[in-house]
Amino acid sequence: MAAEIRPYWRNFIGGEWLDSSDGRSIPIVDPGNGKVISRVACGGAVEIDLAVAAARRCFQERRLQSLTPAARGELMFAIAGELETLADEIAELEIHDNGKTRAAGYNEVKLTQRYLRYYGGMADKLEGRQIPLGDNAVDYTIRMPYGVSAQIVPWNGPLPVGARSIACALVTGNTVVLKSPEDSPLSLFVLAEACERAGVPKGAVNIVCGYGPEAGAALVAHKDIDHIVFTGSVATGKSVLRAAAERVIPCVMELGGKSAAIAYADADLDNAARNIARGILHHAGQICSAASRLVAHRSIVGPLVEKLKAEAARRTVGPGAEGCDMGPVISERQLQRIETLCEVGVTEGATLATGGKRLARDGFFLPPTIFTDVRPDMRVAQEEFFGPVLVVIPFDTPEEAIAIANGTDYGLAAGVFTRDLKLALWTADRLVAGQVYVNDWWVGGVETPFGGTRRSGYGREKGQEALLGYVQTKNVGIKL
């Protein structure tokens, strides 16, 4: 039987579950039918203040730092274990709060557990070094936590995105105030519950839901935070960076993308179509690293687009609760934004090969959409849809393919489809992107570093690299 969705949720601050100080709450809308299914206490500047104070106290009292690294790692394993018993509730929330399919909902739990166990396992492996200075001195380095880490996550994958930042922060001895996304906040409160049950020290993890321009802005401008991890859009990222600059706070920025898959003339077309379709249609395209541009050799555009249309047609579009393959986008606002950009594409002269119009049913559903005859300078080739929309741009030479693929402000992910390994490596070398996939999309995961270049941001999440974003080096020199 499907788990019940609780009607009301509170913020998690200093180990307590608190209502909003002014009594406000945010309605939670199921994107699968447009109905309000729950409410969450709306955090504002007061809640952010309380949460930062709790996190600061926890840090000052060294409640995490006094634990051995191994014990901090054990805490991550314990949270992962608690999530096992909460998996059914989380999967249900992912369907109704977020619009995921049931399989994707359970996958989010597994992925979150993987992050917690991966970073839990690394807790006791992050070491400093000893620097030889001759007979009369001893010198060594320490990896210090920053202090209070302010974390802001978007609505498309709040649980694993939040958990990986929380895990990195806690195993390195930082404490956390996380602003949960107002469009899809609930699974992170279940994570908070798992932290509580696992015995995470009070104040080490604080989760507040509130509106971005209010609670988010209050958090990043707070005088008592030491570090920011932001995942979201470039526009918001810039305002976060402005706030960080005021106090010279280090940031990890995971921003948007317009990632290109280059398909050469010799590509295995079935494999390319399967992976590019998965790359753009998973979670209805609401993934920062979605395969949102196909840059295809002119000789294969026709057959590859036919195969992509067949992939699109194979998918049922509808609510996860009905067992459909592709769910809705998060909100009416987001659906309108995507539809408007689709209209721009038509006006610009691109050909709508399939999709482009919302489904005539309740909820926020756009079917898989493909634009052909797209020129690299069109807005649909430059701007992020953050929806299930693929644009197809033809090329004639490998140099042209590279220029098109690198020809946006972004630089998050990219892909290459070819049977020629030398050409694949030549291409991977020249693509400006944080990660490049060859003959697949999303190779790797928890253990492979992930992040952007250019306007897609900087710093890395996932993999061993991520931990380095949560520590700073202190050098200790001793004169003997």
| Terminal-to-terminal C-alpha distance of the chain | 69
* Dihedral sign from CA coordinates of 413, 165, 216, 286: positive
* Closest to 381 measured CA to CA, from 409, 356, 357: 409
Q: Mark whether 465 is an active-site residue.
A: no
Which string of DSSP letters, residue by residue, matches 307-370?
HHHHHHHHS-BS-GGGT-SB---S-HHHHHHHHHHHHHHHHHT-EEEE--S--SSSS-----EE
Contact at 8 Å (CB) between 13 and 208?
A: yes
**Residue carrying the six token digits 């999709």:** 355
Instruction: State the Cα–Cα distance between residues 27 and 24, nearest whole angstrom.
Output: 10
Contact at 8 Å (CB) between 400 and 426?
A: no
Contact at 8 Å (CB) between 213 and 36?
A: no
The site for ligand NAD (CB under 6 A) is made up of 152-156, 179, 181-182, 212-213, 216-217, 220, 231-233, 236, 239-240, 254-257, 288, 384, 386, 412, 452
Distance of closest approach, residue 136 Cβ to ligand NAD, in angstroms: 48
Contact at 8 Å (CB) between 220 and 245?
A: no
Which structure tokens are listed for 154?
Answer: 């978007």
Instruction: State the Cα–Cα distance between residues 2 and 87, nearest whole angstrom.
Output: 11
C-beta closer to ligand NAD: residue 344 or 423: 344
**Residue carrying the six token digits 């839990």:** 120
Q: Helices marked H in 150-207 — which ranges? A: 158-171, 186-198
Instruction: State the Cα–Cα distance between residues 83 and 113, nearest whole angstrom.
Output: 7
As beta bridge partners, residue 16 has 13
Q: Helices marked H in 123-171 — which ranges? A: 158-171
In one-letter notation, the amino acid at residue 217 is A
Catalytic residue among 254, 311, 383, 461: 254
**Residues designated as active site:** 254
